[in-house]
Amino acid sequence: MKKDADMTRYTPAEIEARWQKVWSGNDVFKAVRSADKPKYYVLEMFPYPSGRIHMGHVRNYTMGDVIARYKMATGHNVLHPMGWDAFGMPAENAAMAIGGHPKDWTYGNIADMRDQMKPLGLSIDWSREFATCDPEYYGQQQALFLDFLQAGLVYRKNAVVNWDPVDMTVLANEQVENGRGWRSGALVERRELTQWFFKISDHSEELLDALDTLENWPSKVRLMQENWIGKSRGLQFAFESINAPDGHEKIEVYTTRPDTLLGASFVGISPDHPLAKALERDNPDVAAFCTECRKGGTTEEAIETAEKLGYDTGIRVRHPFDTAHELPVYIANFILMDYGTGAIFGCPAHDQRDFEFATKYGLPIIATYLPSKEADETLTEAYVPAKTEKVFYNRGFAGSAHQTGLEAIDAAIDFCEANGIGQGVTKYRLRDWGLSRQRYWGCPIPVVHCDACGVVPEKKQNLPIELPYDVSFDVPGNPLDRHPTWRDCACPSCGKPAQRETDTMDTFVDSSWYFARFTAPRAATPTNMEDAQYWMNVDQYIGGIEHAILHLLYSRFFARAMHICGHLPASASEPFDALFTQGMVTHEIYMTRDDNDRPVYHLPEDITWTESGARLGADGPLVEVVPSAKMSKSKKNVVDPVNIISAFGADTARWFVLSDSPPERDVEWTASGAEAAFKHLSRVWNMSEKIAGMSGAGEGDEDLLRAMHACIQDVTLGVESFGFNAAIAKLYAFTATLQKSKAGAAAQREAILTLAKLMSPMTPHLSEDIWARHGQEGLITTSPWPVADEAMLVSDTITMPIQVNGKRRAEITVPADMSNEDVEKTALADAAVIRTLDGATPKKIIVVPGRIVNVVV
């Protein structure tokens, strides 16, 4: 005979497939404009189609799904779309490494990832799906580019790139390892190319000021953006040179510390400064030095951490305060041409970098301020106090002798302006956004180069300018450059033979407006104003903290630029009302080395832990274990969630990924615990079956319902504050309470249905099934969220800990409305308190109503 338990087991595979079919059959998640309900737009940062989803994706999309489903239950018209950030380098790398075509590779990956994602049961409106490599999308992006060009938001200028002199190609920063090209191994050089730029710097002030309005963004992200934009007030002035070549009689410098002018001991110019370039032409020594400076990659990190190199040009300049005081002019490798004027004065006493430079080249170190009047002027390192700290100016020239750096800077600017030595100016660290990429797999920049007309925008009716399919990756470089026919075209202006721009756009462009496109993904223009008006802004944006600066800043700029060109309403200038930055899912990295000592990475599933360490396979070679880092395909430290889903179901994966760690924190992936989550969901399902068969009255109905209302309250607050792990802990606790309860059938039934509803954002399939098996009407997905009854949340008595001198010594239970005086008396009458006091008289008694009592002796 078959046992009942066998017939009514929790079978997620069957349950999940069934309910997903019901949802999609009823178009439950299709977003349609409606005036009946408030709209709510939930968006998770869309994925790069690497081919496999990993636990970071599951975490990201599950969080968004919880919000989307919760908002649906609280009466909102929800838009929850999904797409693919599909252009980028890995597709070309794959084509080079394993053959094939970036397009086929990418669309194949998208199909695979969609297949892996759909079983998660996400509440996504798949009818809005698109990939940024769809010509329909990037054609609209080209239209935006043309509008931006017309509006003066785009221009061309020279900029430096990483140049591999062996492969003769431009390298991405990621392709430079220890200053060498990743394929050729050649020392990388910095080389100038003419490139397209967005004028984001024109919007520096606005992008900075508007940060204050982003109340629902994490303050750390706002702070990072503020520092990135880097507004500073300083002094710009010129040193007069004594013996510089013609045309370089004055050297303009910018400083944020004009108060240290009397501590100047040298002038430094960038190797890319016009003066350096002029000297380079005539002097082979200078040329050799500048060539040396241009070695290495373009990253700020590489430049800042490189050994400080200087070259004394022999040129001398006069100090603006004292024409007899001459300073040497050095070319220095750590000075950026992009910031300020590309020239500085060095004050070694108050800048560690200048200090090291001065020590190396035997330049004077002159303190201009000290901690106090008595302090020693001889410094062993740069003295760099906070600008808000009061110091003693031993070489001050403006303001009082005792003042803060900020006061001194203002006084120095005033003094200099009054004496005709330069002007106070505001500058920003933020540079214009270079969007040109010398690569195939990106959105073509829709312009044509004509010998007669110069740079000519493509006509909008010719869009999209589609990428040619017939390209090869057998030689390094951009295949568009050597394509036989694609490059040749007719000038849109004069019709004569001309050439297409072969640079494509930075993939950050693709991701800077996709959120707007989701509001009308099939529109024949970049957006549709009515849809944009209705759905924008994104009410809740969710994604990784690694995008805190670039992606979010570029998107904020794009929303403004799109408004200027009439593609978004002014109200969407800040496109993301609320931002949540989740932590990353990390994992150890397993590495061996090839014959050339280059790293080779291995998947966690290929590693076996033995007594002697981690090995590749059961008895393969030992592998190096590199500490945890963000899961990334290139490092192969990715864990495949598909195994967990097929073993335990999507609800288990969703429940587990939310339950174990706070969403904003990084989490080191471990597979243990997924099974426990499955057991818990089975327990809930079994309990539901048991309750479905119950009848009659019982004991403790009120206690059960009080616990239920407390749970409603806690889970609601938890979901609204992204405290998913804490909300789940409350659900565990309430499940235990319900399991032990002896309450009657009606109360238990109310409790299990409420539990199912509270769990439904996390475990939608299980909840749907419980709902149906209890004969409820309709879908739990579209049913309303429960509301906690205030009257059921208050209790008659409270338990208060009693501290003596801040240490917990006792606990008393008192009526909730007891006066402070009576609480004090009760506390002092407690046996443990009397024992601890040991006859001492309390000096002070602090009663925090409802919380704690502290007796101070």
Of residues 73, 411, 71, 467, the one with CA closest to residue 261: 411
Would you give the DSSP letter of residue 365? -
The least distance separating RNA from the CB of residue 676, rounded to whole angstroms, comes to 3
Q: Cβ closer to RNA: 564 or 729? A: 729
Segment (H or E) for 827: helix 820-829
Q: Give the tokens for residue 805.
A: 């001198």
DSSP letter string, 811-854 = EEEEETT--HHHHHHHHHH-HHHHHHHTTPPPSEEEEETTTEEE
Q: Which of the stretches 35-43, 318-326, 464-472, 663-671 binds RNA when contact is defined by CB under 7 A?
A: 663-671
The least distance separating RNA from the CB of residue 736, rounded to whole angstroms, comes to 6
Task: Give yes or no for residue 184 binding RNA (CB under 7 A).
Answer: no
Per-residue CA distances from 281 to 277, 287, 826 (Å): 6, 7, 90
- The rounded distance, in Å, linking the Cα atoms of 717 and 725 is 12
- Give me the 500-519 binding string for RNA, x by CB under 7 A, dash otherwise: ------xxx--x--------
Q: Cβ closer to RNA: 303 or 772? A: 303
Q: Give the tokens for residue 436.
A: 């040109």
Q: Cβ closer to RNA: 483 or 680? A: 680
Residue pair 168/189 in contact (Cβ under 8 Å)? The answer is no
Binding residues among 401-460 for RNA as defined by CB under 7 A:
429-431, 433-434, 436-438
Q: Please tell me whether residue 659 adopts helix, strand or coil conformation.
A: helix
Q: Which of the stretches 73-81, 414-422, 611-619, 844-852 binds RNA when contact is defined by CB under 7 A?
A: 844-852
Q: Which of 192, 546, 817, 822 binds RNA (CB under 7 A)?
A: 546
Segment (H or E) for 611: none
Task: Give yes or no for residue 359 binding RNA (CB under 7 A).
Answer: no
- Give me the 261-300 binding string for RNA, x by CB under 7 A, dash otherwise: -------------------------------------xxx
Task: Give yes or no for residue 740 binding RNA (CB under 7 A).
Answer: yes
Task: Give yes or no for residue 820 binding RNA (CB under 7 A).
Answer: no
The least distance separating RNA from the CB of residue 223, rounded to whole angstroms, comes to 5
Task: Give yes or no for residue 195 binding RNA (CB under 7 A).
Answer: yes
Q: Which of the stretches 260-268, 526-534, 597-605, 798-806 binds RNA when contact is defined by CB under 7 A?
A: 798-806
Phi, psi of 722 (to 5 degrees): 60, 25
Binding residues among 585-624 for RNA as defined by CB under 7 A:
586
Q: Give the tokens for residue 72.
A: 């649906």
Phi, psi of 132 (to 5 degrees): -70, -15
Residue pair 112/51 in contact (Cβ under 8 Å)? The answer is yes
Task: Give yes or no for residue 111 binding RNA (CB under 7 A).
Answer: no
Q: Which residues pair with 812 in a beta bridge?
A: 800
Lookup result for tokens 């108060």: 259
- The rounded distance, in Å, linking the Cα atoms of 579 and 216 is 6
Q: Which of 13, 17, 96, 172 binds RNA (CB under 7 A)?
A: 172
Q: Which of 36, 215, 282, 301 binds RNA (CB under 7 A)?
A: 301
Task: Give yes or no for residue 31 binding RNA (CB under 7 A).
Answer: no
Task: Give yes or no for residue 795 binding RNA (CB under 7 A).
Answer: no
Q: Which of 11, 155, 292, 732 binds RNA (CB under 7 A)?
A: 732
Q: Please tell me whether residue 318 adopts helix, strand or coil conformation.
A: strand
Task: Say how many residues touch RNA, by CB under 7 A.
Answer: 102
Q: Which of 77, 478, 826, 854 binds RNA (CB under 7 A)?
A: 854
- The rounded distance, in Å, linking the Cα atoms of 240 and 539 is 56
Binding residues among 39-78 for RNA as defined by CB under 7 A:
48
Q: Cβ closer to RNA: 436 or 713? A: 436
Q: Give the tokens for residue 215.
A: 């109340």
Q: Which of 461, 485, 596, 672 binds RNA (CB under 7 A)?
A: 672
CA gyration radius for the chain? 33
Task: Give yes or no for residue 193 binding RNA (CB under 7 A).
Answer: yes
Hey, what's the torsion of the CAs at 363, 368, 372, 373, to 10 degrees?
A: 100
Beta-strand pair 844-848/852-856? antiparallel
- Give me the 220-259 binding string for RNA, x by CB under 7 A, dash otherwise: x--xx--xx-x-----------------------------
Q: Cβ closer to RNA: 17 or 717? A: 717
